[in-house]
Amino acid sequence: MSSTPSVSSPAPASSRAFTLVRTAEELHALASRHAATGNRPTSGENRPAGLPARASRTAVVMTMGALHEGHATLVRTAREHVGPDGLVVVTVFVNPLQFGAGEDLDRYPRTLDADLETAEAAGADTVFAPAVDEVYPGGEPQVRITAGPMGERLEGASRPGHFDGMLTVVAKLLHLTRPDLALFGQKDAQQLALIRRMARDLNFPVEIVGVPTVREPDGLALSSRNRYLSGGERRTALALSGALFAAADRLAAQQALRARAASLPGSESRAEALSRLGEARAAADAHAVAQASEGGGADAVRAAARAVLDEAAKTEPPLALDYLALVDPADFTEVADDHDGEAILAVAARVGTTRLIDNIPLTFGATK
């Protein structure tokens, strides 16, 4: 049952009618019509740098609805990747498998009319909004995808079974939408890492694209759950991004100190060299930085973030920290103090009744 919503947003670049579809059969029919009318090479002028010319492609952006600017960014990025002749599909499905006992499945916002407007304005061709029995005919699936050890850490430890449910629905939606590429936000870093791992381990013929986190002007990461925050709770919630930015600043300062200290005469000890720089931060951190290896400083970065979160725990309303972790993006295990290379600093906390997550990518040893 296909329909065309009445919206005032401009038509997507392809000039094809924007549609809402409810079943996989409707979606596949739409894709077939699209292939018959638009399956021609994408021009180099509209193709993202580095992508070869090829026939029209399909991109999918999977959501649970309540679309915001972060989702719109994913859709626009999808359009950039597939070009004006590609097919951009947005899925809207609140997946019951990834909500645990006491979580907000019933409370989760359902705003389909607004979602249609947002998706069309951002450049989508269609929204696929199936009912639960379309995705799970006959009830909850007896066979599911298991996230493995990485799915038991951080978010997995806080929300048992969440990642199994997430991967199961992502796998099903990849089969139903049949995309060439699927785009996910880096705000859900552990989710993105697991989806990439699933696609690689199970040989899914799809490119997984991560898109940087979109933030509001005050730094808060965009999330459908932000709407639950009162004014006071929102002020407290800013500690999440504040902690991440403080950690990034500390890492940058450490690496700058280390680089400058390395330029001083080699006859001096590292602590003496750092202290001689005459900066307040250098004097305070000289001994700690001196004891770290060339790629080190992870503990100081964690400490900088935790200091911000500890202060937020004393405010009213308070922030209740779930976890703060500095992890290897390959498996989400904690990195050692002498870690060298890529890392993700991830945080989760509750403010009032709302649970929020955020993260930031960091690179240790970049100045070497």
What are the tens digits of pLDDT across the range 86-128? 999 999 999 999 887 767 788 788 999 999 999 999 999 999 9
Nearest-angstrom CA–CA distance, 275 and 254: 13
pLDDT category of residue 139 using cuts at 50, 70 and 90: very high
Task: Please give the pLDDT value at position 107.
Answer: 79
Q: CA-to-CA distance for 78 and 91, rounded, in angstroms? A: 13
What does the pLDDT read at residue 255? Answer: 86
Average pLDDT over residues 60-88: 96
- What is the per-residue pLDDT for 264? 62
Q: Parallel, antiparallel, or unpaired: how do β-strands 354-364 and 19-21 relate?
A: unpaired
CA distance 280 to 285: 9
Looking at residue 335, the DSSP 8-state letter turns out to be P
Cβ–Cβ under 8 Å, residues 368 and 256? no
**Mean predicted confidence (pLDDT) in 10-29:** 77
Amino acid at 249: D
Selection from 145, 162, 170, 146 nearest residue 61 by Cα: 170
Residues contacting 250, CB < 8 A, separation 6+ = 297, 300, 301, 303, 304
Residue 134 CA to chain centroid, in angstroms?
A: 26
**Greatest extent of the chain over all pairs of C-alpha atoms, in Å:** 78
Strand 126-128 and strand 181-185: the pairing is: unpaired
- Known catalytic residues are 71
Question: How much is the mean pLDDT over the chain?
Answer: 86
pLDDT over 70 at 142, yes or no: yes
Predicted structure pTM score: 0.82
Nearest to 247 by CA among 366, 359, 365, 368: 359
User: Each residue of 150-189: b (16+ CB within 10 Å) or e?
Assistant: bbebbbbeebebbbbbbbbbbbbbbebbbbbbbbbbbbbb
